[in-house]
Structures are given as structure tokens and as C-alpha cells.
Structure 1
Amino acid sequence: MNPIEIEAAVSELAIRPFDKGEFPFAFLRAFGNKETTIKRLRSGESNKSDLGGVLQTNNIHISVAQPGEVTKTLVALRESQATARAKARFILATDGVHFEAEDLESDDPPIVCEYMNFPDHFGYFLPLAGITTIKQVRDSSFDIRATGRLNRLYVELLKDNPEWGGTERRHEMNHFMARLIFCFFAEDTGIFREMRLFTDSIEQMSVQDASITHEVISEIFRAMNTKDRDRAETHTPRWADKFPYVNGGLFSGSVEVPRFSKIARSYLLHIGNLDWTKINPDIFGSMIQAVADDEERGALGMHYTSVPNILKVLNPLFLDELRAQLDAAGDNSRMLLNLRKRLSKIRVFDPACGSGNFLVIAYKQLREIENTINERRGESGRESDIPLTNFSGIELRHFSAEIARLALIIAEYQCNVLYRGPTLALADFLPLSSDNWITCDNALRLDWLSVYPPTGACVKSQANDLFNTPLDQAEIDFDNEGGETYICGNPPYLGSTYQSAEQKSDLQLIFDQRTSNWKSLDYVAAWFMKAAEYGKHTNAKAAFVTTNSICQGQQVPILWPLIFETGHEIAFAHTSFKWSNLASHNAGVSVVIVGISRHLGKVRRLFSVGDNGSMVIKETEHINAYLVSGPEVIVEKATSSTAGLARMDFGNKPVGGDLLLTREEILDLDITPDQRARFIRRIYGSAEFIRGEERYCLWIKDDQLDEAIQIPSIRKRIEDVRAMRSDSKKSATRSIASQSHRFGEVRQIGNETVTIVPSVSSENREYLPVGLAPEGAIVSNAAFALLDAPLWNMALIASRLHLVWIATVCGKLKTDFRYSNTIGWNTFPVPTLTEKNKADLTRRAENILLVREAYFPSTIADLYNPESMPSDLREAHEHNDEVLERIYIGRRFRNDTERLEKLFELYTKVTKSSKQTKKGRKGEDA
């Protein structure tokens, strides 16, 4: 269950008549417990309570109290030995009138409330559903409740008004929902002249069968688009005359409203009964955007970008510098004034703004700094100099664009209440400005300089203007000469496999004239390229959240030289971390944050997560495209090892499926054991080596062919391979049809010692899978092979050093490590090894193999499962890492960041030396 579903279930439980015997089970059911779990608890099979309550191990101990004894019962739950034995995280006591609960693993204060109000705190209990997320989201019960109710209303309205869900009217429906949100907020915050004016008017003026509800709402909308002086002429009803003139484009244009059923009317009134003063535009916008998106509605409430994560972008992009300037100013009035003027000219641009949460957070942070300036200058309550129009965005989806503008309007009002007081905030709020600074369009098809010019007016009316900006308003008139621009956001990532035809066309439009390899790029790369082009003509600085794949593997040499050609460098970066959301048991996606600029000082900042989970900040002169501290370098493919390591090639390629066999197919050949020993070999690719899958192949040497074709079943397979190759469209395949008894590409004689390296393996493993193939086995082209290589080569591959190198320079296939011999193994930097070094590493590799052997028949997948890896195997790898890392720097590396810095340092030296050698040879030839 997601938070929206949980909130709905909890709210429904609270309005039912209290049943003391059933409450604990109903409460657990509301948080997603299955009926089988409830049945076991009810029967006492898994219920370990010593107080006559319900105790679910590792989760919660619930007890229904006698009337008036809730606090006493909670104390008993806290002191219960059963609570401790079962490691219950929560304790809960209620008598149906009062409700108390406590999280025993958190410093959060206990919940004490009336029973009917406990749904307001449902976020407190989200860990019961496996949702362990950030505190800001857990505490945002209102936003989740409001989103769930708006979603139910939206779906119900579309049932009776299906045409409003079609392509032609979907925009009207979304605009209607945005109007409702504004009304609910305005009636609870005093913006309207009476509290609850909107909800009460609908309840009183529309009859119970809801037949005229749409007419009542339409009249209200019409009133809010009519100036007071014009209302007599337009015959505004007396009851609607209470609503103020709002305008701002929000209520202009059509005021048609979808028809309401009794159920839809009931939903509307329930939404109005929520306390909309609690709305948090930082969170609410991200949640509500899914209401109008058919594809996202199934994951409603899960799409949330946390404030701390947004600040990972905004702080190093510009906020840290502003706060430092504020600290330096102290109480110096002139310096504070200069900083305030600077704030008023700062522009923030999110070209994939969604519901506007990056813009909202940026606005609120700047207002907070401005307020501190005002307080230090003795000017508290001063009108803000920071216009909303400085926070511009582009968004493809209409509803998200509307919510983005609305979220900023709400954020401005809330800041004014906080810093100027309710009276001044209300005085300045209405009527809304008709300025529209959120553009609804495809950001990759727009000229950003046209939408957001570097100086002066920055927002022009668009043909598809969302808020009906007057056509004669060519641009917003405000002076921003000399202001700096910061581009930020979380654009769609989308690897090449998942891009639609339209998205591939977007990439082609941007990259086709720059590189022929653009088809390999993630979609997010286009935003970096557009930002870099924009920065060539402005003093803009940009930072985006992105999947780490654009800073790994094959995308690096395609994208980053193009970025660097524009004069941009990486100003700061966050190395890989989990970008989580509200989904149950969510692991999050691995992302990085990259900031680029053409206007840099000497210091760049590189942020990373330390071994203890704390943030580590390193100041450095350079950050390269792999997000490593060090000079700019692109790791290029090499045909042989730059460190003199053993040659690594793909395994043997069958080119004909009839050369491969299962165990059952071998039996069908009807051959003797002696024939099987001569012509059948075990074959290993990635899956066979890692998971122990059985696969076999025909392995017939040229001098064995005459004997082999005497066996009918084998002769048929050879002939089928010949036919397949002869019919191929590839000339290279046709050319080997006459040798159909052999693999199409043969790299083994068949009796070598083979070190096997899978070409793809899970990112969850702490070490890359590598090992020796059984004697006589064949390695397929689904893996790499080192033939008769010294065993110390395996020690290198099995190290943590090699894993971080492969993860960085080779990239990934989906979420798995993708190995490459030319770009991963051949480029792997290794110091010159002495004979003693090689002997020590050989012993470490032997030890790893011996430990594995002790666990036969466990597979590599079994042994390297991070949750169940045997301790002695982990110790064997630790010893291997210690020996190898001491060869590199005389001690163990502190973390992966330090490992990569050393590896890139060595790689740079090797490639620089190689280039100088080649240059010298050319000179000699001359």
C-alpha cells in the first residue's frame, strides 16, 4: 500500500463506531497487513502480548484501555517485557475517546490526541507498512490526505463527465482542479472575506441531489473574475458577491464546471473540511501532479522530491555563497543592502519544473535570507523585493505547470504571513497578478534564450498560455539587469532503451550536428547540453539531478567533451546516492548531482557519502567527468593492457544455436560415453558461471570431423548450422558456413587454464564475480576469458579497486555492472608489480578459491549475496584488498572516492607517458 491508500483506510477506521475487540486488527489491516497475518494474530499463534492486547513482532504493541486509562496503559506497554522481547517499534493505547502512541526507536514526541483525530498522524506509523522515509514526508499528513481526497474527486467526476477526460477537455479539467485548490486554501487562510466561505456556499446553495452543484461553483468562479464595480452590471448573485475579485488568469476564460453526482459533491465537501492552512507547497505539488496523470495515478503519492535532496542542488549552486555573504555582512547596513539588491535580481530557472518544487524551495530560501537582512537592518515587515517572476519554469504537462504557478503563489502568501504578518499579507495578495512565468511546452524544442533572456524582461506570453495572459501583454515588465541566473531541476532521465520515438527525436534535434553517437545518450543529457549552450550567452550556472550513467561508461566520451567545448567545467558534484520516494520498501534510484559553469574560481567542491553515512566535502581544483577529483581525462578503449596485464578476450561465439545443448538434448543425441567425452563440453557464459546453470556445446576439432559426422544426430546439427549460416544476410557469417562443425569465433584450443569474467553482473555484489573455469570447459561470448593467465590477474579482478573502476568507466546495463575488456581491463591502472607482489596476490586468489570450494555446491550467486555472504569469504576478499591496496599507496584506502582518485592519477600518468612516447617516435620517423 502507498501512503494515499493507507491514509484513506485509517480515515475510514476513525469514523466507524469504535469496537474495542476489533480495533487492533483493523488498525493493522489499514497499514497493509494481509488477512493471513491478521488471522494468526487473532488466533494467538503469533500474538505475543502480555497485556491482553495485540503484539506484532518487530512492529507494534497495541492495547485497548479502560475508559480514562489511556496514559496508564501506554506506560504499561512501554514497560512490558513482551514489548522488549518482540522488539516492537511502536506502542499504542486507546479507549475510543483518547489516543496515545509512541515510537520507541525515534526521538519524535509521542502522539496524544482525540481518537477521531488520530488519522492526522497516520504518517507517524508509515514504517508499519515498510515505508521508512524522511521525517518531512512522515510529518506531512495533510498533503497526503488532501491528495488522496482530490484524487477520489477527480476520478468520480470523470465517471460522470467522461468527455472532460479526453484530449480536447483534459486541460479544462486540470484547470478546474487548480481553481478548487486555490479556493480551499483561500477560504481557510483568510484570503476570502469569511472562513469556509467556498465550502459552506456549496453546501448551502446546492441541493442534496447535487443537480446544481456545477452551477453554484460556476457562479462562484464567475464572481472571482468580476471586479466589484462590474458586479451589478453582470448580475452577480448576492450570495456569490461575498467572494473577492481574484483574477490573475486563474478564473478568467470559461467558467464551465463538470456535473457533480451526490458522491462527487460529498467528496468535495470532505475536501473543504480539511485544514488547508497546513498545505506545504514543497510537498503538495509533487503529490498532486499525479492526480491528473493516468500513468502516475497508480503510484499516487510516491513521487516526492524531498527538501534535503533539493537543497543538495540549490545549496552549492548558489545558496551557500549567499549565506556566506550574509555571515560576512554581519550587521553592516551597507553590505546587507547590497546583498538584498543582489537577491532581488537573482533568477532561478527550472526547464523541467514539474509541479515547481525546486522553484518553491529556492523562493522560500531566498525569502528567508532577505528576512534576516531586514531584521538586521531594523526593517522587519518590509515588503519583499523578490518577485515571483524571477522563478521561471518550463513544463510539458498542463496540470503540473498550473500547479507549479499555484504552488509559488501559495508559497509567496505563506512567506508574507511569516515575515510580514497576516494583515499585510492579505492586503497585498488580491487581486492576483496575471503574469505567467511558467511555460507549458517541450523544453528541448524551445529556445531558452527566447523564453528566458539573459537580462531584462524574462517571460513572454505564449500561444498556449495557461493562465490566459492578456494578448496585449508582450512581456512582464520588471528590471533585472545585472542579475545572475541559476538553472536547476530534476529532468527525466530515461536511458536509450526506454525513450519514445518523440524523445529520440528531441535528442537528435540537439545532438545530431554534434556527434554521431547521440543514440547512446540518456534523455537527461539533452538538458545538460541546452544549459551549456544557454550558459555561453549568459552568466548562468546550472545543476541537475541525473542518473549516474551519464558520468560512467560510454556516455562520458560522447557527452562531456561537448559540454567542455562550450567553456563549461564541473563546478561541484554529488557522487552517487539514493534518491528515494514514498513507495513501500523503496530502495530509490542511484543518482548524482552535477553543477556546471563557465565562471569559476580555483576551488570546486565534491560531495560524497562517507562510510558512516555522513556527508564528506572535498575541495579540489578539478572535478573530471567521472566525478573524481583530478584533471580532466576521458578513458578511451585500449587494444591491449596499458599495465602489461594478461590478454582478455570475449569467449567463443557459436554462430549457430544447434551447437549448444541442454542436458536433455545430450541424451537425445544417443551417443556413447566415449563419444560424449570427445565431442561434448560444458560451456560457461555469465549466467552459467554465476548461477550454476547447466549448458553444453558441441566442440569438434578439425581432425575429429570425419568421426563426428558418422553420428547421425551430430551430423544433423552440423548441417543445420551450415544452413543457418548460408542463409545469413551477413557475408562474414556466410563465409564460415563450410566450417559449421566449429564455433564461428574460436579463441580456445580447449585445454587451457581459463579465468572467466562475466560480462554482466549485479550491482548489489560487493565484488565482481571471477574464477577459474573447470578443466576442459568452454567459455562463451557471454563472458570474457584470460587464457593461461597467471593467477594474480584474478586477484586484481576480485578486488574492490577493480570493481569501482569498472563501475565508473564501463557503466551499467540497466542496473547491472557491464564489464568491458577494452575499456575496463585494458585501461585498469596497476603499479609496477614485483615478483613478491605477484606471489602475494597469487596466494590471495588461491585463498578465495579455497574458501569458495568449501561451500560446494553453492553458486557464485549464493556466495556473493550481500545479505548472506560467508564471513570467511568476505575475510578472504578483505585480505586480498589489503595486499593490493598496500601495493598502491602503502595502506588501505579510506573509501571508494580515494580509490578512484588514485586510479585516475595513475591512468593520467600512463596515458600522458604513452602519448609522449608516440610523439617521440613520430619525431624519430621524421
Structure 2
Amino acid sequence: MNAVEIEQALSDLAAQAFDGAEFPFQFLAAFGNKATTIQRLRKGDSNASDVAGGVLQRNHIHVAVAEPGQVGQTLTALKASAKTAQAKAKFILATDGTTLEAEELASGDAIACEFPQFPDHFGFFLPLAGISTIKEIKDNPIDVRATGRLNKLYVELLRENPDWATTARRPDMNHFMARLIFCFFAEDTDIFPGATLFTATVDKMTQPDGSNVHEVLSTIFLAMNTKTEDRAAAGIPRWAIEFPYVNGGLFSGNTDVPKFTRTARAYLYQAGKLDWREINPDIFGSMIQAVADDEERGALGMHYTSVPNILKVLNPLFLDDLRTQLETSGDNKIKLLNLRKRMAHIRVFDPACGSGNFLVVAYKQMREIEAEINRRRGEVEQPSEIPINNFRGIELRDFPAEIARLALIIAEFQCDVLYRGQKEALKDVLPLDSQNWITCGNALRLDWLAICPPTGTGVKLIGDDLFNTPQDQSEIDFQNEGGETYICGNPPYLGSRDQQEEQKSDLKHIFDRRVLNWKSLDYVCGWFLKAADYTTRTQSSVAFVSTNSICQGLQIPILWPEIFRVGCQIEMAHTSFRWANLASHNAGVTVIIVGISVRPRSPRRLFSIDKSGGTTERQCEHINAYLAAGGEVIVEKSGRPISEVSEMTFGNMPIDGGYLLLSRADREGLGLSCSQQRRFTRRIVGSAEFIRGTMRYCLWIKDDHLKEALDIAPIAQRIGEVRKLRLTGGKTARDLADRPHQFQRTHGSEYSTLVVPRVSSESREFLPCGYEPADTVVSDAAFASYDAPLWNMALIASRLHIVWIAAVCGQLETRIRYSNTLGWNTFPVPTLTEQNKADLTTCAEEILLARENHFPATIADLYDPENMPEDLRRAHEKNDEVLERIYIGRKFKNDTERLEKLFDLYTKMTAGQAKPKKGKRT
């Protein structure tokens, strides 16, 4: 269940007559527990509670219904219960149907409330559904509640008005929802006269069956688009006269309203009864946009971009600088005035703004700084000099674009109330500004200089139909002559394989004739290059959230040379972290933050998440495209090692449709003698087999054994199927059709093979690698170095090497992805003496012996970070120390220092080598 569904279920439960015997089971059902789970608890099969009236769900919660007036004592008993600790319960809860108390045991956070109000605290309990809670949701549930109510209304209206669900009318439907949101907010914040003007009018003037709701709402909307002096001529009825003139484009144009049912009218009334004063425009928008998207509605309430994550972008981009200037200004009124003037000219531009999260957070943070300036200058009632039309955005879809503009309007009013008072805020809020600062369109096709011009005057908006804005809209003075522009946001990622033809065309429009191999780039790269071009024409800096793949592996030599060529450098960066949302059992996508500028500030700032989960900052002179401290360096693929190490190749590729591969049962089913098994089959290992120790086999038939093998019917049948498959395949497969008994490659070793899996879990501290006997086949799911000396394994098993691989080869999500040409062949190793090799050989032997001590534990068992054997860990630590002393005479302090040394050494070792051109076409 998602957050919206849970909130509704708890609200329904609180509205029912309290049933003490059923409450614990009803409560658990509200969080999506299956009926079978509830039944086992009800029967007592899995209920180990030792508290009277208690129900204990292991790893989740211990609930008990108390005697009247005994809630506090019952909660104390639950906390003291031995069963609570044994079952590792996260929460305890006690209620008598009149009051309710609960505690989250790990944090000590607690709630106490009247029973009917406990749904207000639904965010407190979201971990019970596997949903990571976020502080804003815990503190203020209105955003999720409003989303749920509006979603019910939206779905019911589309059911009754199927024509409004068509492509042609969906914008009208979304515009209607934006109008409703404004009306709900306006009546609860006194923008409308009377605390319940909108809801009360609808309740009074409409039929219970909903048959005339559309007419009443249409009349209200018309009134709000008509100036007071024009209302008589427009035929506005007396009952609608109280509604103020709003304009601003929100109520202009088509005033059609979908038809309502009795149910839809009830949903409208329920939404109006919520207290919309506390709506958070910086999180509400990203939730409500899911209401209007059929594909996203299933994840309702999960579309949440957390404010702390947004500030990871905005703080180092420009907010930290503003706060530093505020601090250094002290109480100097001239310096404070200069800062306020500077802020009035700052433009914040999000060219993929969605529902406006980044723009709203930036606006609210700047208003907070401005309010402190005004306080120090004794001008607390000073109107804000920060115009919201300096917060510009581009959004492809119409509804999020409408919500973005509405969110900024709400944020502006809330900030005025907070910093200037209700009276002053109401004085300036209406009529709304009719200028349009959120453009609906394709950001990769639009001219950013026209949408967010460098001078702020003399440029018309690109025409669009947002809020029915006319194409010939007048010029807008953004009040930012000579000001700074900060580009930020979280553009769509879309890897190359996930892009549709339209996205490929967008990238071609930007990269073609400039960059080779651009088809391999993630979609987000289009925003980076457009932003880089923009910075060459304006006083601006950029910081985008992105997938980490654009700063790893093969995308680096495609994208970053062009960004550097136009003059941009990386000014700040945040290495990989999880961009959290409210999705159940989902910590979010792995992202980075990269900031670029043609005039980067010094020192550069490099952020990362430490082992404790906190953020650390390192200041440095330069940041390279791998998000490591150091000068510009691009690691290119190499066909052979740049260091004196053994060659490494892909394992053997079958191209067989599975017919040359055998399970243990398949092998036994061939009916071979022991000598035939040795002659015609071999064990095969790829990444999974090597790491997990699973046994797989393959047919491995030499040409001089083929005639004998074909006399064995099951083998002959398999070979025949391979031949048929290859004959109907691509060119590579067809070229192999005349030898269907063999893999494409048939590499092997004389003594042993050093195996390195292609993909490995990021949770392991060391890369899994090791040796297999000469008669073991290595598949193309792993890399192989045939008859490699042991000291090569010492290099691969080192901390130095895994850090290098993670940086230059890239990762699948956060899993390590290995490459021989990009990772092993480029790995910079100093010239090793014979003594160095002997020392490293000893280290590798000790690692292998430590593994043997724990036979039959697999690599997966041995390298589980929680259960790694101490002798194996010591062997790796010794290996690291020996190797790192070879590099710098001591152990490295951290991975940052390791990468710096490796990039420096790589640069020196490849200096003067010819490299393939990756930049501009000739």
C-alpha cells in the first residue's frame, strides 16, 4: 500500500465505532498486511504477545488495547515486555478507544492524541508498510491527505466524463484541478473573504445529487475572472459576487467544468474540509502531479523530492554563498542592503522543473535570508524585493507546469504571511500576476536564452498555452539586470537503451556534429551540454542531479571533453547517494550531483556520504570528470595493459541458445562414462558460478573428438540445435555455423586461470577474484587471465583496484561493473621489482589460504561484509599495506587519496600516447 491509501484506511478506521477486540487486526490491515497474516495472528499461531489484550507482529509492532484510562500504563508494559525485544518490534501502541499513545522504539519518538485524531499521525507509522518516512510528512500530513482526496475526485470525474480523459481535453481537466487547489487554499488563508466561502457556497448552491455542481463552479470561476466593475454586465449572480477578482490567467479562458455525481460532490466537500493553510508547496506539487498521470497514479503519495536532497544541490550552488555574505555583513546596514539588492537580481532556472520543487525551495530559502536582512535593518514589514518571476522553469507536461506556477504563488503568499504578517500579505496577493514564468515545452528544443535571458529585458516568452497565455504576451522585465543565474534541477535520466525515438532525436539535435558516439549517452546529458553552452553567454552556474553513469565508464570520454571544450569546469560535486522517495521498500535511485561553470569558484567543493551516513566535504583545487580531486583526465580504453601485467580477455562466448550449457542433471542425463565426461564436458564458471559456488557444465569438444561425440545421440541432438540456431542468427552466429560443437572462443590455460566476475556487489570491500583449474571453462560472464602469476591477483584483490574500477568502469546502479580494456588495461602500476612481485605473491597466497580455511564457504559467504572471516580480512589488509607502500611508501589515508594518486600516475604513464579523438567531428 502507498502512503495515500494508508492514510485513508486509518481515517476510515478512526471514524468507525471502536471495537477493542478487532482494533489491533484492523490497524495492521490498514498497512497492507495480507488476510492470511492477520488470520495467523488472530488464531495465535504467530502472536507471541505477553501483554493482556496484546497482538505482537514480529519485526513490526506490539499493539495492546487497554482498560479505560490505562493507556499510559499499558504502553509502559509493552515497552518492558521481554517479547517486544525478542520479536524486534519497531513500534509499541496502546489505546482504549478514547486516547492513543505510541512510541518508535529505536528513536524514542512518541505520539499521544485523542483516538479520532490518530490518523493525523499516519506518517509516524509508515515504516510498518516498508515506507521510509520523511520528516515533512511526519510533521504535516496535509500533503498526503490532500493528494488522496483530490485523487478520488479526479478518478470519479473521469469516470463520469470520459471525454475529459481524452488527449484533447486532459489539459482542461488538469487546469480545472489547479483552480480547485487554489480555491481550497484561498478560503483557508483568508485570500477569500470568509473562512469557508468556496466550500460553503458549493454546499449551499448545489443539489445533493451533484447534477448542477458544474454550473455553480463555472459561475464561480467566471466571477473570479471578472473585475468588480464589469460583473453586472457579465451577468454574475448575487450569490457569486463575494468571490474576489483573481485573474492572473488561472481563471481566464474556458470555464467549462466536468459534470459531477453525488459521489464526486462528496469528494469535493471532503477535500474542502481539509485545512489547506499548512500545505507544503515544495512537496505537495510532486505528489499531486501523480493524480493527473495514469501511469504514475499507482505510486500515489510516493512522488516526493525531499527538501534535504534539493538543498544538496542549492546550498553549494549559491545559497551557502548568500549565507556567508549575510554572516560577514553582520549588522552593517550598507552591506545588508547590497546583499538584498543582489538577491533581487538573482534568477533561478530549472529547465526540467516538474511541479516546481527546486524553484519553490530556492524561493523559500532566499525569502528566509531576506527576512533576516530586514530584521537586522529594522524593516520587518518591508515588501519582498525577490520577484517570483525570477524563478523560471521549463516543463514538458502541462499539469506539472501549472502546479509549478501555482506552488510558487502559494509559497510567495505563505512567506509574506510568515515574514510580513497576514494583513500585509493579503494586501498584495490579489489580483495574481498575469505574467507567465513557467514555460510548457521541450527543454532540449527551446532556446534557454529566450526563456531566461541574460539581461532580463527585451525578450519575449516562447509562446505556450499554460494558463491560456497568449503567444503575443508582452515583454517581461525580470528585474535582474546584471544579476546572476543559477541553473538547477533533476532532469530525466533515461539510459540509451530506454530512450524512445523522440528522445534520441532530441539528443541528436544537441550532440550531432559535435560529439561522436552520442547515441550511448543518457538523456540527462542533453541538459548538461545545453547548460554548458548557456553559461558561456551569461553570468551563471549549473548544478544538476544525474545518474552516476555519466561520470563513469564509457560516457565520460563522450560527454565531458565537449563540456570542457566550451570552457566549463566542474565547480562542485556530490558522489553517489540514494535520492530517496516515499516508495515502499525503495530507497530511490542512485544519483550524483555535478555543478559546472565557466568561472568556477575556488576552492572546489567535493561532497560524499561517509560510512555513518553523514555528508563530508573536501575542498580541492580541481575536480575531474570522475568526481575525484585532480586535474582533467579522461581514461580511454586500451587494447593492452599500460603496466607490466598479464593480459586479460573476455571469457568464452557460447552463442548456442543454451544447448552447449549443462546443469548437473543435464550432464548426468547424457549417459556418458567417466572418461567421456572428461573428454566431452567441462565445468564452466561465470560471475554467478564463481561467486556463489554453483556447479554448471558445458560441452567442450575438440575437433579430433567430434566424430566420437556425434555418435552419442543426446550430444548430436544438442549440436544440431546449435547449428540451426546459428544459421538463422546474425553474421557472427552464421560464421560459426560450421563448428556448432564449439564456443565462439575456445581460450584456455595450461596451468590455471585467474577469474574476475564482470559484475559484483558494491557491498563487498574487495573485488572477488581467484583461480580455477586449467580444465575449467570461463564464460563470457567473467574475465579471464590465463596462467597469470599470483601477484596479478594481489593487484586485483586490492582496495586500490576496486576504487579504480568503481571510478573508471562505471556501475550498474551501485554494483561494480568490471572491464578489461577500461579497468585492467588502464590500471596504473608502478614498475615492480622482483622483490615487490615476491611480496605480492605471498599476499595472494595468504588470501587463498585464508579462503581454504573456511571451505566449503563460497565467495559470497566469505566476502559478506557483516560476516567476513577475521583471518581473510587480515590477509587483505596486509595485501593492501604491501601494495600501497609500493605506491607511496605508506598506506593511503582514504579512497580520495587513492584515486588522486592513481589518476596522477595514469596521466604520467600515458603522457605522449596518441588517443582516439572523442570530441568535435572533422
Which TM bucket (shorter chain)? Answer: over 0.9
Q: Does 1:287 align with 2:270?
A: no
User: Helix, strand or coil: the match of 1:636?
Assistant: coil
Q: Does 1:900 align with 2:899?
A: yes
Q: Distance in 2 between matches of 1:735 and 1:69?
A: 82
The CA deviation string for residues 392-416 of structure 1, in whole angstroms up to 9 with x for no partner, is: 0000111100000000000000000
**Residue 377 of structure 1 aligns with which residue?**
377
**Residue 501 of structure 2 aligns with which residue?**
501
**Residue 67 of structure 2 aligns with which residue?**
66
**Residue 278 of structure 1 aligns with which residue?**
278
**Residue 922 of structure 1 aligns with which residue?**
none
- Over 3 Å counting, the alpha-carbon distance change for 1:131 and 1:742 in structure 2 is closer
Structure 1 contact 610–895 (Cα < 8 Å) conserved: no
Q: Return the offset for 1:859.
A: 3.7
User: Helix, strand or coil: the match of 1:544?
Assistant: strand
Q: Distance in 1 between matches of 2:711 and 2:87?
A: 70
What letter is aligned with 2:619?
E
Q: Distance in 2 between matches of 1:739 and 1:71?
A: 79
Q: Return the offset for 1:21.
A: 1.7
Structure 2 contact 464–470 (Cα < 8 Å) conserved: no
Q: Return the offset for 1:191.
A: 0.4
**Residue 681 of structure 1 aligns with which residue?**
682
Give the 5 Å matches for 1:560-709.
Answer: 560-656=560-656, 659-663=660-664, 665-667=666-668, 669-704=670-705
Structure 1 contact 489–545 (Cα < 8 Å) conserved: yes
With 353-362 and 813-822 compared, the bigger mean Cα shift is at: 813-822
**Residue 99 of structure 1 aligns with which residue?**
100
Q: Distance in 1 between matches of 2:672 and 2:88?
A: 61
- Over 3 Å counting, the alpha-carbon distance change for 1:48 and 1:512 in structure 2 is same
Q: Distance in 2 between matches of 1:104 and 1:329?
A: 45
User: Helix, strand or coil: the match of 2:545?
Assistant: strand
What letter is aligned with 1:908?
T
User: Helix, strand or coil: the match of 2:428?
Assistant: helix
Q: Return the offset for 1:150.
A: 0.8
**Residue 57 of structure 2 aligns with which residue?**
56
Q: Distance in 1 between matches of 2:88 and 2:719?
A: 64
**Residue 149 of structure 1 aligns with which residue?**
149
User: Helix, strand or coil: the match of 1:575?
Assistant: strand
With 876-885 and 209-218 compared, the bigger mean Cα shift is at: 876-885
User: Helix, strand or coil: the match of 1:681?
Assistant: strand
What letter is aligned with 2:92?
I
Q: Does 1:124 align with 2:127?
A: no
What letter is aligned with 2:91?
F
Give the 5 Å matches for 1:342-357.
Answer: 342-357=342-357
Structure 1 contact 535–541 (Cα < 8 Å) conserved: yes
**Residue 920 of structure 1 aligns with which residue?**
none
Structure 2 contact 99–114 (Cα < 8 Å) conserved: yes
What letter is aligned with 1:677?
R
Q: CA RMSD in A?
A: 2.5
Q: Return the offset for 1:890.
A: 4.5
Q: Distance in 1 between matches of 2:83 and 2:681?
A: 62
Q: Return the offset for 1:778.
A: 1.8
Unmatched runs of 5 consecutive residues or more in structure 2: 916-922
With 583-592 and 288-297 compared, the bigger mean Cα shift is at: 583-592
Give the 5 Å matches for 1:494-893.
Answer: 494-656=494-656, 659-663=660-664, 665-667=666-668, 669-704=670-705, 730=731, 742-748=742-748, 751-813=750-812, 816-866=815-865, 869-870=868-869, 872-893=871-892
Q: Distance in 2 between matches of 1:833 and 1:480?
A: 60
- Over 3 Å counting, the alpha-carbon distance change for 1:722 and 1:245 in structure 2 is closer
Q: Distance in 2 between matches of 1:713 and 1:75?
A: 70
**Residue 43 of structure 1 aligns with which residue?**
43
Q: Distance in 2 between matches of 1:740 and 1:355?
A: 57
Q: Distance in 1 between matches of 2:745 and 2:85?
A: 64
The CA deviation string for residues 773-822 of structure 1, in whole angstroms up to 9 with x for no partner, is: 13411223332111111112112212232222112111134654321111
Q: Distance in 1 between matches of 2:61 and 2:651?
A: 54
The CA deviation string for residues 854-876 of structure 1, in whole angstroms up to 9 with x for no partner, is: 55444434444445555554454
Q: Distance in 2 between matches of 1:743 and 1:42?
A: 58
What letter is aligned with 2:841?
T
Q: Distance in 2 between matches of 1:200 and 1:656?
A: 72
Q: Distance in 1 between matches of 2:356 and 2:725?
A: 57
User: Helix, strand or coil: the match of 1:444?
Assistant: coil
- Over 3 Å counting, the alpha-carbon distance change for 1:709 and 1:182 in structure 2 is closer
What letter is aligned with 1:792?
W
Q: Return the offset for 1:278.
A: 1.2
**Residue 228 of structure 2 aligns with which residue?**
228
Q: Return the offset for 1:47.
A: 3.0
Q: Distance in 2 between matches of 1:76 and 1:663?
A: 56
Q: Distance in 2 between matches of 1:738 and 1:148?
A: 63
What letter is aligned with 1:808?
A
**Residue 329 of structure 1 aligns with which residue?**
329
Structure 2 contact 51–77 (Cα < 8 Å) conserved: no
- Over 3 Å counting, the alpha-carbon distance change for 1:734 and 1:161 in structure 2 is closer
User: Helix, strand or coil: the match of 1:754?
Assistant: strand
What letter is aligned with 1:632?
E
- Over 3 Å counting, the alpha-carbon distance change for 1:844 and 1:255 in structure 2 is same
Structure 2 contact 51–64 (Cα < 8 Å) conserved: no
Q: Distance in 2 between matches of 1:558 and 1:913?
A: 21
Q: Distance in 1 between matches of 2:164 and 2:542?
A: 39
What letter is aligned with 2:412?
E
With 669-678 and 580-589 compared, the bigger mean Cα shift is at: 669-678
Q: Return the offset for 1:668.
A: 5.7
Q: Distance in 2 between matches of 1:708 and 1:67?
A: 83
Give the 5 Å matches for 1:20-419.
Answer: 20-45=20-45, 46-106=47-107, 108=109, 110-419=110-419
What letter is aligned with 2:252?
S
Q: Return the offset for 1:665.
A: 4.9
With 808-817 and 267-276 compared, the bigger mean Cα shift is at: 808-817
- Over 3 Å counting, the alpha-carbon distance change for 1:341 and 1:706 in structure 2 is same
Structure 1 contact 611–895 (Cα < 8 Å) conserved: no
What letter is aligned with 2:827?
F
Percent identity at matched positions? 65
Structure 1 contact 452–458 (Cα < 8 Å) conserved: no
Q: Return the offset for 1:653.
A: 3.5
Unmatched runs of 5 consecutive residues or more in structure 1: 917-926
Q: Distance in 2 between matches of 1:61 and 1:713?
A: 59
Q: Distance in 2 between matches of 1:713 and 1:101?
A: 66
Q: Distance in 1 between matches of 2:129 and 2:725?
A: 54
User: Helix, strand or coil: the match of 2:181?
Assistant: helix
TM-score (norm 1): 0.94
**Residue 428 of structure 2 aligns with which residue?**
428
- Over 3 Å counting, the alpha-carbon distance change for 1:164 and 1:205 in structure 2 is same
Structure 1 contact 191–426 (Cα < 8 Å) conserved: yes
Structure 1 contact 573–594 (Cα < 8 Å) conserved: yes
TM-score (norm 2): 0.94
Q: Return the offset for 1:715.
A: 6.1
Q: Return the offset for 1:299.
A: 0.7
Q: Distance in 2 between matches of 1:28 and 1:111?
A: 18
Structure 2 contact 11–119 (Cα < 8 Å) conserved: yes
Q: Return the offset for 1:149.
A: 1.0
Structure 1 contact 40–47 (Cα < 8 Å) conserved: no
User: Helix, strand or coil: the match of 1:502?
Assistant: helix
Q: Distance in 2 between matches of 1:79 and 1:702?
A: 74
What letter is aligned with 2:831?
T
User: Helix, strand or coil: the match of 1:54?
Assistant: strand
Q: Return the offset for 1:365.
A: 0.9
Structure 2 contact 454–537 (Cα < 8 Å) conserved: yes
- Over 3 Å counting, the alpha-carbon distance change for 1:230 and 1:34 in structure 2 is same
Structure 1 contact 49–61 (Cα < 8 Å) conserved: no
Q: Return the offset for 1:647.
A: 1.2
What letter is aligned with 1:326?
L
